[in-house]
Amino acid sequence: MKAANTPARVLIVCMGNICRSPTAEAVLRHALAKSNLSIEVDSAGTEDYHIGNPPDPRSIRHAQKRGYDLSSLRARQVSTADFQEFDLILAADSNNLSALRRRCPAGLQHKLALFLESEPLPDPYYGEAGGFERVLDLVEERSTRLV
């Protein structure tokens, strides 16, 4: 079931598509399923560093502790078609939002926003375990509000 003004397809974007965006994809997908909402969720990266690779093992491990399975996800880069095919494209931070704005056709810019609305989703890649837990906390909170 989908309300008339609810997006049918949501894309979440970070830089490499191995930490933040796959985590957000899995968490939002889970929240939507629990609410019986049929909305497709995908993730991608603005860069091509990790195409075809699974999420960072730390992302997989921390998500798994909370009941989310990231193991089947594979990194991909945002494509030109994504701007047409997705109704809402949510960037992890302002750098990725800027990269999306540069690539997005002028008539589709309205689809772009920050995942956390007014603040960046911190990148845990170079940090410790606490960073991955913080990302999960923020993503769970935002996913609940989105649903």
What DSSP string describes 124-140? -TTS-HHHHHHHHHHHH
Task: Check 19, 20, 42, 76 and give the catalytic one.
Answer: 20
Verify whether residue 19 is a known catalytic residue. Answer: no
Q: Which of 14, 29, 93, 142 is catalytic?
A: 14
Q: Is 58 a catalytic residue?
A: no
Active-site residue, selected from the candidate residues 42, 82, 93, 123: 123
Compute the residue count for the chain. 147
123 is catalytic: yes
For 52: left if phi > 0, alpha if psi spans -120 to 50, otherwise beta; the answer is left
Q: Which residues contact 56 (CB under 8 A, 6 or more apart)?
A: 18, 19, 125
Please list the active-site residues. 14, 20, 123
